Amino acid sequence: MALFAAAGRVASTLVAMIGTRLELAAVEFQEDARRLLGYLAWSLLAVFLAAASIMLVALFVILLFWDSYRLQAVAGMAVLLAAGAGVIVMSVRSKLNAQSPLFADTLAELRKDIDYVRHAAAGAIDE
C-alpha cells in the first residue's frame, strides 16, 4: 500500500511540475515575442531613416562631383554603401548567433525535474 501512496505522490508531483513548466514556457514565449516585435518595429524605423539619409548623402556627393568625376563619384558611393551593408549583415549575424536558444530556462527546469524524478524513483525503489 505504501508503494501505491508513493507512486501517487510522485505522479501528483510530476503533474504539478509539468503544469509549472508549461506556464514558464508560455511566459518565455510571450516575452520573446514582445521583445522581437519591439526589435522589428525599431529596426524598420531605423532602416527607413538610414536609407533616406544615405541616399541624400550619396546624391550630395554625386552632385558635388558631377562636372569633373561623376562616374568615380557614383562608383565610390556604390562601394561605400555595399561595404556598409556587409558590415551590418555581419554584425546582425553575430548577434543572432550569440542569443540564447528559445525556451532555455524551461529546458533547464525540465532537466532539473528529470533528475529529481530519477532520484525520487531510485529512493522509492530502495525503500
- Which residue blocks in 65-103 are alpha helix, DSSP H? 70-98
- CA distances (Å), 118 to each of 9, 96, 123, in order? 14, 35, 9
Segment 71-125, tens digit of pLDDT: 898 888 888 888 988 898 898 888 888 877 767 777 777 788 778 777 776 666 6
Q: State if pTM tops 0.85.
A: no
Asked whether 114 and 21 are in contact (CB, 8 A), the reply is no
Residue 64 has pLDDT above 70, yes or no: yes
Distance CA(63)–CA(69), nearest Å, equals: 10
Domain ranges of the chain: 2-126
Segment 10-39, tens digit of pLDDT: 777 877 778 787 888 788 888 888 888 888
Q: How many residues does the chain have?
A: 127
